[in-house]
Chains A and B, each alone.
Chain A
Amino acid sequence: MNWLKSIGEAFYNAWVPEKRYLAYLSGLRMTLLISLFAVILGILIGILIAVTRVSSRHTKSPVVKFLNKLAVLYVTVIRGTPMIVQILIIYNLIFTSPNTNPVIVGAVCCGINSGAYVAEIIRAGIESIPIGQMEAGRSLGMPYRMTMTTIILPQAIRNILPALGNEFISLIKETSVISIIAVNDLTKMAGYVGSRTWDVIPPYVIAALFYLAMTLGLSKMLSMVEHRMEKGTRK
């Protein structure tokens, strides 16, 4: 039973002395803040890109056609390159000033990345709505944009909620990558604790448990939302 005791000691060392749990909590706070703002930014970018791409097919406007080309380029580049490389580029390109807010750095990096995936999810969702819905709205005299926002998007969002949930869950996990650019998120703080105790495994296991709690909590929340949205409107 000696090994069990030594494991217990290792975890105790990684958690209690010097109020180390506070380090995790501050890292957790940073990770949550970054995730939250990254999700918001990702949704905004995603909706913008998706609507640009969908509406470009129904218009002859050269501006929208041009924006659509940019949107395609953005989605292609973001989805075709590793996030860690994107972060290093964005960080060194834009956030070179020493006193930038780490939450903003992290949220911008992760949000720009997530936006491309969210855009594709939303686009697929919009295209899954039968064309008759748009025609019904238009035939009543509602403009394209009004039909899109009041009729098509609410249905599309309901359809894509599971896929969107998965994207947010993986976003929370992927924020851990930003620890490479001197942002004190949960992963980074676990690393600091490990460098103090000379034993890195327990703090990383603790960090892993925090991530697991976050993703489980989020997926629980999402399934509750899905359940509510399905009520009454089931076909």
Chain B
Amino acid sequence: MSSMIETVNLKKTFGDHEVLRGISQHIEKGEKVVIIGPSGSGKSTFLRCLNLLEEPTSGDVIFEGKKINAPKVDIDQVRQRMGMVFQQFNLFPMKTVRQNITLAPVRLKKMTQEEADARAEELLKRIGLPDKADAYPGMLSGGQQQRIAIARALAMNPDLMLFDEPTSALDPEMVGEVLSIMKELAEDGMTMVVVTHEMGFAREVGSRVLFIDEGIVAEENTPYEFFTSPQNPRLQDFLSKVL
């Protein structure tokens, strides 16, 4: 296995508040890393540091063997190979579903409009929404919007997918449809880093689970070990509340 993304002693401060206090992680190609932790623990900040939506205060982020938080790096090029899915979907409301999916690949000259349209059709079929190509995001349910947000990220053919609490803003009955898309993606071999509160997903899909607490990785393990014999007392406490 080879390295997909790596962090070295990653730190991030907002003003006086030290959100990340040194995280060193090594994520291999094909791994599905699930990050859990209490709110405010820094798990979303960690994820957002991976594609530099947050600039680390110190430490390195190394993507496919290259340090990306360096002044000379074209971050836009790097981000084209890293998809991201947000808690609030963040679809473009004035564009149709098809335009949402094809906008970036066409504008960034990765595909022609025809190629992108064909890709959009294929992706919409894959997420089970082939008839929604001409709908506007505002007309769709939260679950449908999030599935389209996943398709939008996949249209760029990324090597790595980042998920920032993708089901936290959804009504409970819509969580399943989004998770099953993510599960299929995992089965296809996509490298994924997922911040979530869905313990079932972590256990079933994760190849490794991280517990981030107060800005450090307090515990990491395979899902089975992680959930059946947690070592860290704060993790034991956390799991007893959420399980």
Contact = CB atoms under 8 A, between A and B. Distances in A.
Interface stretch (B6-14, B89-97, B115-123, B199-207): B89-97
Contacts of B167: none
A137 B156 CA distance: 12
Contacts of A133: 90, 92
Interface string B81-109: 11110101011111000000001100110
Interface string A144-163: 00100011001100100000
A233 B96 CA distance: 9
Contacts of B153: 139-140
A161 B197 CA distance: 41
B113 interface: no
Interface centre among A136, A141, A143 (most CB of B within 10 A): A141
A233 B88 CA distance: 18
A155 B93 contact: yes
B73 to A, nearest CB: 13
A132 interface: yes
B144 interface: no
B138 A141 contact: no
A154 B94 contact: yes
Interface residues of B, number: 28
Contacts of A136: 84, 86, 90-92, 149
B79 A138 contact: yes
A115 B53 CA distance: 33
A130 B86 CA distance: 13
B138 A234 contact: yes
B98 to A, nearest CB: 14
A130 B53 CA distance: 15
A141 B79 contact: yes
Nearest to A140: B104
B77 A141 contact: yes
Given A135-B53, A146-B107, A233-B136, A141 B90 contact: no
B208 interface: no
B146 interface: no
Contact of A132 (B90, B94, B104, B108): B90
Interface in A150-208: 150-151, 154-155, 158
A160 B13 CA distance: 36
A142 B138 contact: no
A62 interface: no
Which of A130, A142, A234: most chain B Cβ within 10 A?
A142
B18 to A, nearest CB: 22
A155 B57 CA distance: 33
A80 interface: no
B41 interface: no
Contacts of A130: 88, 90
Interface string B149-172: 100110010000000000000000
Interface of A: 130, 132-133, 135-143, 146, 150-151, 154-155, 158, 232-235
Q: Which 7 A-B pairs have the closest CB atoms?
A: A141-B80, A136-B90, A140-B104, A235-B138, A139-B84, A132-B90, A141-B79
Given A135-B86, A136-B149, 11 more contacts: A132-B86, A132-B88, A136-B84, A136-B92, A141-B76, A141-B80, A142-B107, A143-B76, A155-B92, A233-B136, A233-B138
